[in-house]
Amino acid sequence: MPAGSSPSQVIGKVIALGLIAHQVFRKYETYNIAIHSALLFLPPVLLSFFASPPQWTFFHALLVNSAMYLTTLMLSVVIYRLSPVHPLAHYPGPIGCKVSKFWMAFLCLQGYQHQYIKSLHERYGDVVRIGPNEVSIRDATALNTLLGPSGAPKGPHFVGRVLSEHTLPMVGIMDTDVHLRRRKNWGRGMSPAAIKEYEHLIARRACQLLERLEGRAGEEVVIGTWFNFFTYDFMSDMAFGGGTELIKAGHDEGNVWALLDEAMFISTFLGHVPWLGVHFGKIPAATGNLNVLLNNCAECVKARLKRGSQRKDLFHYLNNEDLTDKAAPPMQQIIDDGVLAIVAGADTTSSALTGLTYLLLTHPDAYQKLQAEIDKFYPAGENALDTKHHREMPYLTAVINETLRVLPPVPGGSQRQVPVGGNGLVAGNIVLPPGTIFWPHIYSHHHDARNFSPYTSDFWPERWLLASGDLDSSRGVTASSPEFRHNEAGYLPFSIGPMNCVGKALALQELRMVVCAFLQKFRVRMKEGWDPRTYEREYRDYFTSPRPDLPVRLEVRS
């Protein structure tokens, strides 16, 4: 081994290399495990080999140099992130959030990050630092600038969720131009003409659901479980041309929902630290059921493509089968979008249906008004799955809107990132430097009294009727009352702008059809002795929203 330097000289070099490594990490963000490993371990190894003091053995030098190097690197990172020279230093937030994204990653495991972030906004204001380079925003006046046509592209959290920076579903693509190109296929698959084709699939599965529930009339039923079965079966029909029969089985056949819930739990953690998701993705079985879910999605897509297009399902459009002059996209692209179809197509609608049922049961006046409207347009004997009256039913629309406001199926919203090489983004008083990640936090916007008051966090469908002019007053409040606030700029269950939820129209159609048919058929009662506070207390946020059981009793209406 070559003659080395004195211990003090070596320690000085180690500290200098640790500081340099921090600057490299800051400037060149990467998910490459080889680069990460080289920056973390190569400098102390080289120093130990070529510049260690003569009295140190190689292993002694490696131990000392590694400890000193990593300590320097970590201290440099922490001091910089807490210092006034950090670009986001003027935005307040908890120290743990400023220091590391692991703070939010571990905190989110309990499922209450939506409530935590809302509490941070109530404490700190409209812009809160929830990560070293990340903020949450609660300012409806800024949303059009942040999310509109000139808004920021998607953020990196889907990299961690799907364990790869290269195989992303359409909703997670960070290059805006690529995202919008990929969205064209989805746009055709979610067009009014395509949704009209899917109506008979909704109706068929809804009829099947009602028949199975009729056989359970008078018994205790966990209604959210049956809504899960319905949405998953319909999603399979709509996206893949069929393949599941959960309603028929009457149980979670194949554990698809257990798998989905556990996978969302894991992916939420890794979404906060996407680089770790990429690394874990290289280790077999390291991510448990998340990898299983991704592999199952791939198998569903491959099976659908092997069968071919038997009807105009979603993959008829995603695979360009409707375009005779255009080749099919790469297989990996189709698989990536299959993940999105399964997660977004099943869980969000089931969450909305279950939340709506819970809110009606805990607000009997609203239940009675909605029931009266449904009975008016769909009396006994009328086909409640016919969509012809939906535009004439303002209270149905108000109930759905208010459900999505109080209990949004995706409470956190869509992560965005200011381009690293750009000039930053200015929205009113909000200034976001290049590279800043931000969340326009849906749950906080929906529960902000500046957007919706009075009864800001209560279920009050009448607020939508007052705002639209379909109702003169409710609870002594009119649209001109000083306390009345109804700012729909702060209502974003489907996000807004050119990268909003492409499945919005289908989801609303599904909700309207099922709610009308369900309430025409059944009278729903809460299980005696069940504490209704359980539902909202245990409503979780894992990007999607796992729900607690909602036990009810159904009576067939005559």
Secondary structure string (H, E, C) spanning 390-430:
HHHCHHHHHHHHHHHHHCCCCCCCCCEECCCCCCCEEECCE
Give the CATH number of domain 170-451+487-556; options: 1.10.630.10, 1.10.460.10, 1.20.1250.20, 1.10.10.10. Answer: 1.10.630.10
Rounded Cα–Cα distance for residues 127 and 143 (Å): 13
| Nearest CA among 416, 459, 418 for reference residue 441 | 416
The pLDDT value recorded for residue 249 is: 92
| Nearest CA among 121, 144, 97, 143 for reference residue 444 | 121
The pLDDT value recorded for residue 299 is: 84
Query: Can you name the residues that pair with 136 across neighbouring β-strands?
Result: 128, 439
Rounded Cα–Cα distance for residues 556 and 533 (Å): 27
Rounded Cα–Cα distance for residues 497 and 478 (Å): 31
The pLDDT value recorded for residue 4 is: 53
Tell me the binding residues for heme.
501
Percent helix, strand, coil in the chain, to 5, is 55, 10, 35
Per-residue pLDDT of the chain (558 residues; tens, 9 = 90+): 444 568 788 788 889 988 998 898 888 888 888 888 888 899 888 888 877 777 788 888 888 888 999 999 999 999 999 999 999 999 999 999 999 999 999 999 999 999 999 999 999 999 999 999 999 999 999 999 999 998 999 999 999 988 888 888 898 999 999 999 999 999 999 999 999 999 999 999 999 999 999 999 999 999 999 999 999 999 989 988 888 899 999 988 777 888 788 888 888 999 999 999 999 888 877 777 777 877 888 888 888 888 877 788 898 999 998 888 888 888 888 888 888 887 777 789 999 999 999 999 999 999 999 999 999 999 999 999 999 999 999 999 999 999 999 999 999 998 999 999 888 999 999 999 999 999 999 999 999 999 999 999 999 999 999 999 999 999 999 999 999 999 999 999 999 999 999 999 999 999 999 999 999 999 999 999 899 989 988 999 987 777 889 999 999 997
Task: Write down the domain spans for the chain.
Answer: 7-82, 170-451+487-556
Tokens 């609608």 belong to residue: 349
The pLDDT value recorded for residue 344 is: 78
The pLDDT value recorded for residue 1 is: 41
The pLDDT value recorded for residue 65 is: 86
Dihedral of CA atoms 292, 187, 502, 299 in degrees, nearest 10, equals: -10
Total count of residues recorded for the chain: 558
Tell me the binding residues.
501
Query: Can you name the residues that pair with 430 across neighbouring β-strands?
Result: 427
Q: pTM for this structure?
A: 0.93
